[in-house]
């Protein structure tokens, strides 16, 4: 199937304090604040105008996960497929202001997906400097009420490719056209578990942990190495209770036709979540941020 999704887009988060949320993410990871308005603050790790958008709201939750389409024709095709499947289309106006077109779909399994044209780019010069610990919004990990049906949605409706899964779809990882091992990951439940940034280097994961200490906080889990994707990871909680991953070394698949998805056991012997053998703490598993319309 032809790719419809080029790469990770953005995450749109509802919060009573968009300024505070953006400042915290900036101080911990080094992202820059790119846009401030009365009811919205955007941050970015690179030349893109937005990686994470914080929208003022009395609720705390996720308005949508944005996935960048290959082109406008891909948006039209996603819209057509969604209509043919009688899915709920919430709108065609992007939630992020510096985006031309989008279609926003409420899936029957919980997640809200916004497929959109590229975010406007800005001339920011070199992106490696002191305190800039991340360089790219890497992926999201969502929870779906029916992971097997969500698999069909991601591969059939969005045209993404399965990279790895566990035997009964307790976890699954999907890639876009850019070839990074996963842009979307999923498991059972309802909500967003985490969004992830790609760090410049392993030392930047230490920098994130050090920044948290200066704020009287600490990592939620990590350091460790995931099985699927083979990336090094650390996780922490932001002020809205949303999990943020900072990752390094995610695999990139260079040929869709030659790659064979892995099938991992999901038990204590497989070390699928951490090849080094640690188990995620209970607070990590329970940290789910709801989707809100």
Mean pLDDT of 45-65: 97
If you search the block for the tokens 């990592």, which residue do you land on?
219
- Position 72 pLDDT exceeds 90: yes
Tens-digit pLDDT profile for residues 172-215: 999 999 999 999 999 999 999 999 999 999 999 999 999 999 99
Residue 127 CB burial class (10 angstroms; 0-12, 13-18, ≥19):
middle
Tokens of 187: 């498991």
Residue 290 DSSP class: P
Question: Measured between alpha carbons, how far is 30 from 99 in angstroms, rounded to an integer?
Answer: 23
Q: How would residue 280 be classed by pLDDT, with cut points 50, 70 and 90?
A: very high
* Contact in structure between 145 and 189 (CB atoms under 8 Å): yes
- Enumerate the domain spans of the chain: 5-116, 134-286
Tens-digit pLDDT profile for residues 115-150: 999 999 987 766 555 578 999 999 999 999 999 999
Residue 260 DSSP class: -
Res 255: pLDDT: 95
Q: Whose CA is closest to 104, among 113, 95, 96?
A: 113
Contacts of range 103-109, beta carbons closer than 8 Å, 24 or more positions apart: 103/75, 103/78, 103/79, 104/64, 105/78, 106/293, 107/144, 107/150, 107/153, 108/145, 108/146, 108/149, 109/144, 109/145, 109/146, 109/147, 109/149, 109/150, 109/153, 109/190
Question: CATH homologous superfamily of domain 134-286?
Answer: 2,3-Dihydroxybiphenyl 1,2-Dioxygenase, domain 1 (3.10.180.10)
Largest Cα–Cα separation, the chain = 52
Q: How would residue 259 be classed by pLDDT, with cut points 50, 70 and 90?
A: very high
Question: Measured between alpha carbons, how far is 63 from 291 in angstroms, rounded to an integer?
Answer: 6
Tens-digit pLDDT profile for residues 1-42: 689 999 999 999 999 999 999 999 999 999 999 999 999 999
- Listed in sequence order, the DSSP H helices in the chain are 18-29, 72-84, 147-152, 202-214, 282-286
Residue 133 pairs in a beta bridge with none
The answer to whether domain 5-116 and domain 134-286 are alike in fold is: yes
Res 267: pLDDT: 83
Mean pLDDT of 44-71: 97
Res 269: pLDDT: 77
| Fold of the CATH domain 5-116 | 2,3-Dihydroxybiphenyl 1,2-Dioxygenase; domain 1 (3.10.180)
Q: What is 72-112 written as a DSSP string?
A: HHHHHHHHHHHHHTT-EEEESS-SSTT-S-EEEEE-TTS-E
If you search the block for the tokens 């709108």, which residue do you land on?
91
- Angle, helices 202-214/18-29, rounded to nearest 10 degrees: 130
Q: Average model confidence (pLDDT) for the chain?
A: 95
Question: Measured between alpha carbons, how far is 185 from 193 in angstroms, rounded to an integer?
Answer: 10
């Amino acid at each position: 199937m032809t790719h419809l999704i080029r790469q990770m887009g953005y995450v749109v988060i509802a919060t009573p304090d968009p300024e505070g949320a953006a400042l915290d993410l900036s101080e911990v990871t080094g992202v820059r604040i790119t846009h401030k308005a009365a009811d919205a603050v955007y941050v970015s790790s690179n030349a893109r105008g937005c990686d994470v958008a914080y929208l003022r709201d009395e609720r705390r939750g996720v308005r949508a996960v944005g996935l960048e389409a290959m082109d406008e024709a891909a948006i039209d095709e996603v819209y057509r497929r969604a209509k043919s499947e009688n899915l709920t289309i919430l709108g065609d106006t992007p939630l992020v202001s510096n985006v031309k077109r989008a279609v926003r779909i409420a899936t029957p399994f919980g997640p809200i997906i916004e497929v959109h044209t590229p975010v406007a780019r800005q001339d920011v010069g070199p992106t490696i400097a002191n305190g800039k610990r991340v360089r790219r919004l890497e992926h999201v990990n969502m929870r779906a009420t029916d992971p097997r049906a969500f698999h069909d949605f991601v591969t059939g409706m969005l045209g993404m490719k399965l990279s790895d899964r566990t035997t009964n779809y307790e976890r699954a990882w999907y890639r876009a056209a850019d070839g990074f091992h996963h842009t979307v990951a999923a498991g059972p439940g309802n909500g967003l578990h985490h969004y992830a940034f790609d760090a410049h280097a392993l030392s930047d994961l230490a920098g994130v942990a050090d920044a948290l200490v200066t704020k009287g906080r600490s990592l939620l889990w990590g350091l460790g190495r995931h099985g699927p994707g083979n990336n090094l990871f650390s996780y922490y909680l932001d002020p809205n209770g949303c999990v943020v991953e900072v990752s390094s070394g995610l695999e990139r698949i260079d040929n869709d036709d030659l790659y064979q998805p892995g099938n991992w056991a999901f038990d204590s012997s497989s070390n699928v979540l951490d090849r080094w053998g640690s188990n995620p703490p209970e607070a990590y598993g329970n940290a789910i941020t709801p989707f809100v319309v």
